[in-house]
C-alpha cells in the first residue's frame, strides 16, 4: 500500500487521503470515519498523529476507485488494512464523500520520504562534523583529504567547489555566499580537529552529501587523517546572491534567448511552483515521476543549491494556462531542465492539482538577524524594527522605519526577510503596538519592487532621513501570513460579455448611494434622464493557498437597504 495527500486548498500536512492499491490510486469514503482512522492514516503518511479529519470532499473530489468504506480503526493499528471495513473496492459512496485528514506537523523520526532531504539526516550520520556558514562562505572541515587519492572534483553548477589539497569531491549541498579560502584555512588551523569521514567520493550530481560514498573513522578520531588535511570548499554565488548589479545584468544577458524557467507561489526565496516558458507562453509541470534529481536541476539552473524538497500535488498552489511537461526524468548532470527527458502533455494526462514545485537549498545570508517585529499579538505581526551599523563586529543599533509611503510591496519584503511568509497588510500607523523602547527612525523613503530579499535592497533615503511624521505612532508595521490568496480575473469573460446599456436614473438610486456611478452623476436631473453604462460579467479565481476574505470581518458589516 502507498498513501498520499491530495486536493486543494491545503497545507503539506492535510488533504484528501488517496491510497494506491492493486496498481490504482483511489480514495476513502467518509462514512463512519473517526479520529482513530485519521491517526492510522497520518502515520502511514509519515506524521506522528492526526489532529482532525474532514468529510464531504472538503479538499475536492477525487477520481477513480473508492477503495475503502465504513472504515473503523481503534487508532493503534499498524495499517489501515488491519481496521474493520467493507472490503477493498466495496463501497456505496460517491466522490462527494471523499475523506481527508489533518495531521500533526511533526514527522516520525526516520520516516523515509524519497522526495525530501533533511540536513539533519547527514548531521546525525557524521556526528560532530562542523559545517560553519557565514557571509564569507562555507568551510566544510573534519573531512580527511589525502593527496593522490579520491576522484577529481566535479562541482555542481550552482556551487563550484575548490578543495584544499590535491583532490577530493564537491557536491552542491547549498549555494553559499562568495567564499574565500584564507579565512577557512585560518579557521581550521585554530581548531582541534576530530575527523569523522574519509574517502568521500561523489559524482557531483548528488543532491546531498550523505548520498555520496564515504567511510567513517573508528576509535581515536583525533589521530586520524595523518597523511592528509581537512577538506575545505569555497562556493561561487548564484546570480541572486552575487555582489553588484553588473553581475546580475551579465547573467540576465547570458540567459536571453534560452528557454526560461521560474518559481511562482512560494513565500520564501528558492521555493515555488515550477513554471517554464514554451512557445511564448508560461506553463506548469505535471508531478508524475517528479523527484529530487529533477528538482535539483531546476534549483541549480536558477542559481540556487541542490533541491531540499521535490513537492507534488500543487503544494505551492495551482498554476494557470497550459501544462507543458510531464514525466520529467533528469539524471542530475543536466544544466537545464529542458535537457532532461520528458513527455509532452495531453489533455487527459494531468490537471493543475498535480503541478510540481520545489524547495531549494539557499545560502545563509543572515538577513533575518537585521529585522524584527515588536508589540504584535503574535510573532506574525508588529512594528518593524531594523538594525543599522552592524558591520565590523559593532553592536547593531535598532531603529524604526518611517511609515510614509509604506505599502503592500514593502510589507512583502519585510515578511520574506523575517521568514514569515506573505504580507497580509502593510501599516503606516502602529500606535497600538507601542510597547518597545526603540524610538528613533533610522530608515525612510523605502520603496520596494516586491522581489527583494531584504529591506536594505530596496530603494531608500540612506543616511539622509526624510520623514514628515517622526513620532513612533507613524512607524511602519506588518501583518504576515504563512499562506495567501492569489486572485486572477477571467479576462476573456469580461471581453465576451461587455455591452453598453442606457439605464433610467430612477433605477440607479442604489448605485448612486454606493458610489458606483461617476462623479458627474451628482449633477444629473434626478430621477429623470438616464446614464449610459458599460456592463459585463466577471469571474475571479483564487489560485492561492488561503481563502480570500473581505478586509472587514462580519462583525463590522452594516445593513444597507440596497443589499
Each residue's pLDDT tens digit, 329-376: 998 889 899 999 998 776 667 888 889 999 998 888 888 999 999 999
Residue written as grid cell 473503523? 72
Per-residue pLDDT band at 139 (split at 50, 70, 90): very low
Per-residue pLDDT band at 105 (split at 50, 70, 90): confident
Q: Higher pLDDT residue, 286 or 246?
A: 286
Is the same domain home to 312 and 340? yes
Is the same domain home to 25 and 46? yes
Overall number of domains in the chain: 4
Is the same domain home to 73 and 94? yes
Is the same domain home to 373 and 472? yes
With a cut of 60, say whether residue 425 has pLDDT above it.
yes
Is the peptide bond preceding residue 411 cis, with omega within 30 degrees of 0?
no
Per-residue pLDDT band at 150 (split at 50, 70, 90): very low
Highest mean pLDDT pick, 23-27, 371-375, 460-464: 371-375
With a cut of 80, say whether residue 41 has pLDDT above it.
yes
- Structure confidence at residue 303 (pLDDT): 86
Residue finishing a domain among 435, 456, 481: 481
Q: Higher pLDDT residue, 52 or 243?
A: 52
Compute the average pLDDT of residues 404-426.
93
Whether 265 maps to a domain, the answer reads yes
Is the same domain home to 468 and 371? yes
Whether 455 maps to a domain, the answer reads yes
207 in Cβ contact with 119 (< 8 Å): no
Query: Among 65-74, 405-414, 489-498, which stretch is predicted with the lowest mean pLDDT?
Result: 489-498
- Structure confidence at residue 192 (pLDDT): 65
Say which DSSP state 435 is in. Answer: -
pTM strictly above 0.85: no
Compute the average pLDDT of residues 62-86.
92
With a cut of 50, say whether residue 324 has pLDDT above it.
yes
Is the same domain home to 344 and 426? no
- Structure confidence at residue 234 (pLDDT): 78
Contacts 24+ apart (CB under 8 A), 243-248: 243/178
Is the same domain home to 27 and 49? yes
Is the same domain home to 463 and 503? no
Average pLDDT, the chain: 79
Residue finishing a domain among 337, 360, 383: 360
Whether 124 maps to a domain, the answer reads no
Residue written as grid cell 511609515? 403
CA angle 410, 413, 415 (to 5 degrees): 110
Torsion, Cα of 524, 529, 533, 539 (10° steps): 100
Is the same domain home to 350 and 416? no
Residue finishing a domain among 360, 390, 416: 360
Whether 40 maps to a domain, the answer reads yes
Is the same domain home to 375 and 353? no
Compute the average pLDDT of residues 4-33.
87
Element (H, E) at 271: strand 271-278
- Domain range for 346 is 259-360
- Structure confidence at residue 245 (pLDDT): 45
In whole angstroms, give the CA distance from residue 49 to residue 43: 6
Query: Among 89-98, 207-216, 525-534, which stretch is predicted with the lowest mean pLDDT?
Result: 207-216
With a cut of 50, say whether residue 502 has pLDDT above it.
yes
- Structure confidence at residue 170 (pLDDT): 39
With a cut of 80, say whether residue 120 has pLDDT above it.
no
Per-residue pLDDT band at 138 (split at 50, 70, 90): very low
Compute the average pLDDT of residues 493-497.
91
Convert 98-124 into a string of H (helix), E (strand) and C (coil). Answer: ECEEEECCCECCCCCCCCECCHHHHHH
With a cut of 50, say whether residue 525 has pLDDT above it.
yes
Say which DSSP state 97 is in. Answer: G
CATH of the domain at 380: 3.10.250.10
Helices (H), 211-351: 245-255, 292-301
- Structure confidence at residue 219 (pLDDT): 64
- Structure confidence at residue 395 (pLDDT): 79
Per-residue pLDDT band at 226 (split at 50, 70, 90): confident
- Structure confidence at residue 259 (pLDDT): 53
With a cut of 80, say whether residue 239 has pLDDT above it.
no
Cell for 34? 473517526
Is the same domain home to 477 and 494? no
372 forms bridges with which residues in the sheet?
A: 385
Whether 428 maps to a domain, the answer reads yes
Query: What DSSP string describes 447-471?
Result: B--S--SSGGGSB--TTS---S--S
Whether 81 maps to a domain, the answer reads yes
Q: Higher pLDDT residue, 31 or 144?
A: 31
Whether 142 maps to a domain, the answer reads no
Compute the average pLDDT of residues 484-510.
89
- Tens of pLDDT, residue by residue over 162-191, are 333 333 333 464 333 333 344 445 454 555
70 in Cβ contact with 32 (< 8 Å): yes
Of 424, 420, 434, the residue nearest 383 (C-alpha): 434
Is the same domain home to 404 and 468? yes
Whether 84 maps to a domain, the answer reads yes
With a cut of 90, say whether residue 127 has pLDDT above it.
no
Amino acid at each position: 500500500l502507498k498513501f498520499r495527500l491530495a486536493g486543494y486548498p491545503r497545507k503539506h500536512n492535510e488533504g484528501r487521503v488517496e491510497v494506491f492499491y492493486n496498481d490504482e490510486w483511489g480514495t476513502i469514503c467518509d462514512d463512519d470515519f473517526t479520529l482513530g482512522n485519521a491517526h492510522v492514516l497520518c502515520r502511514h503518511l509519515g506524521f506522528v498523529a492526526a489532529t482532525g479529519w474532514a468529510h464531504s470532499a472538503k479538499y475536492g473530489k477525487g477520481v477513480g476507485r473508492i477503495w475503502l468504506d465504513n472504515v473503523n480503526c481503534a487508532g493503534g493499528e499498524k495499517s489501515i488494512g488491519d481496521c474493520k471495513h467493507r472490503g477493498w473496492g466495496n463501497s456505496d459512496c460517491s466522490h462527494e464523500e471523499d475523506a481527508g485528514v489533518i495531521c500533526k506537523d511533526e514527522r516520525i523520526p526516520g520516516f523515509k520520504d524519497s522526495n525530501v532531504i533533511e540536513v539533519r539526516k547527514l548531521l546525525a550520520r557524521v556526528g560532530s562534523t562542523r559545517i560553519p556558514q557565514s557571509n564569507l562562505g562555507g568551510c566544510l572541515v573534519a573531512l580527511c583529504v589525502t593527496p593522490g587519492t579520491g576522484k577529481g572534483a566535479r562541482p555542481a553548477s550552482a556551487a563550484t567547489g575548490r578543495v584544499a589539497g590535491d583532490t577530493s569531491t564537491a557536491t552542491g549541498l547549498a549555494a553559499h555566499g562568495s567564499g574565500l579560502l584564507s579565512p577557512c584555512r585560518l579557521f581550521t588551523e585554530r581548531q582541534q580537529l576530530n575527523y569523522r569521514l574519509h574517502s568521500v567520493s561523489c559524482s557531483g550530481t548528488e543532491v546531498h552529501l550523505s548520498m555520496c560514498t564515504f567511510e567513517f573513522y573508528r576509535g581515536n578520531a583525533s589521530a586520524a587523517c595523518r597523511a592528509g588535511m581537512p577538506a575545505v570548499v569555497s562556493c561561487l554565488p548564484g546570480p541572486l546572491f552575487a555582489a553588484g548589479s553588473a553581475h546580475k545584468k551579465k547573467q540576465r544577458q547570458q540567459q536571453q534567448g534560452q528557454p526560461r524557467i521560474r518559481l511562482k507561489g512560494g513565500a520564501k526565496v528558492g521555493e515555488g511552483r515550477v513554471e517554464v516558458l514554451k512557445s511564448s507562453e508560461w506553463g506548469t509541470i505535471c508531478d508524475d515521476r517528479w523527484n529530487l534529481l529533477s528538482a535539483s536541476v531546476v534549483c541549480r539552473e536558477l542559481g540556487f543549491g541542490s533541491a531540499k524538497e521535490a513537492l507534488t500535488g500543487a503544494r505551492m498552489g495551482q498554476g494557470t494556462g497550459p501544462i507543458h511537461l510531464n514525466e520529467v526524468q533528469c539524471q542530475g548532470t543536466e544544466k537545464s531542465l529542458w535537457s532532461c527527458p520528458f513527455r509532452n502533455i495531453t489533455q487527459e494526462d494531468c490537471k493543475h492539482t498535480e503541478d510540481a514545485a520545489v524547495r531549494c537549498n539557499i545560502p545563509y545570508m543572515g538577513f533575518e538577524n537585521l529585522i524584527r517585529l515588536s508589540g504584535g499579538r503574535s510573532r506574525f505581526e508588529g512594528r518593524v524594527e531594523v538594525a543599522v551599523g552592524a558591520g565590523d563586529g559593532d553592536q547593531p543599533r535598532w531603529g524604526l522605519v518611517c511609515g510614509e509611503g509604506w505599502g503592500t510591496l514593502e510589507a512583502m519584503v519585510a515578511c520574506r526577510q523575517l521568514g514569515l511568509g506573505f504580507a497580509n497588510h502593510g501599516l503606516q500607523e502602529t500606535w497600538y503596538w507601542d510597547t518597545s523602547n526603540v524610538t528613533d527612525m533610522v530608515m525612510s523613503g523605502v520603496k520596494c519592487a516586491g522581489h527583494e530579499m531584504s529591506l536594505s535592497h530596496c530603494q531608500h533615503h540612506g543616511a539622509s532621513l526624510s520623514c514628515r511624521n517622526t513620532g513612533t505612532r507613524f512607524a511602519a508595521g506588518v501583518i504576515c501570513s504563512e499562506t495567501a490568496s492569489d486572485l486572477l480575473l477571467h479576462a476573456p469573460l469580461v471581453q465576451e460579455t461587455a455591452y453598453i446599456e442606457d439605464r433610467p436614473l430612477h433605477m440607479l438610486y442604489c448605485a448612486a448611494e454606493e458610489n458606483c456611478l461617476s462623479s458627474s452623476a451628482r449633477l444629473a436631473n434626478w430621477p429623470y434622464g438616464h446614464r449610459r453604462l458599460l456592463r459585463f460579467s466577471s469571474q475571479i479565481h483564487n489560485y492561492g493557498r488561503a481563502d480570500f476574505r473581505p478586509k472587514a470581518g462580519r462583525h463590522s458589516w452594516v445593513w444597507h437597504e440596497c443589499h
